[in-house]
Amino acid sequence: MTAPATFLRACGLSELEEGTPKRVELDGTPVSVVQTEGEVFAIYDICSHANVSLSEGEVEDCQIECWLHGSSFDLRTGKPSGLPATRPVPVYPVKIEGDDVLVSLTQES
C-alpha cells in the first residue's frame, strides 16, 4: 500500500503568467511551474542533457525548451522531443486550491 501523495504549496496561481515558467524549490528540488493552454504543469527544472534551468526557456505547444541546446520537453510527460536530450525529466502532479498551486514531488512518470 502506497502512502498518499503530499502536496506542497509551490506558488500562487495569480503569480503565474501564461506561458512563462516560474522556478520554485520544493524540499530542495528545483521545479518549473508553467500555466499554459488552460492547465498548470510542474516539471523538474533541470535539463536531462545539461545542468541548465528549464524555467529560463520558452514554452510553446505544451513543451518547455532548454535555452542552451534547444531540446524541448513535454510538460505532460517530461519526454524530450528532440536531441541532444534523450532522457525524460520528471513531471509532478498539480492541484489548484483557491489561489494556491500545490505540487506533489511524487512523480507521475
Q: What is the pLDDT of residues 32-66, one digit of tens each?
A: 999 999 999 999 999 999 999 999 999 999 999 99
Q: What is the pLDDT of residues 4-26, one digit of tens each?
A: 789 999 999 999 999 999 999 99
Q: Please state which of the four CATH numbers 2.102.10.10, 1.10.940.10, 1.10.8.60, 3.30.470.10 is assigned to the domain occupying 7-104.
A: 2.102.10.10
Q: Do 35 and 45 contact (CB within 8 A), yes or no?
A: no
Total-model pTM = 0.92
- What single letter denotes the amino acid at residue 6? T
Per-domain residue ranges of the chain: 7-104
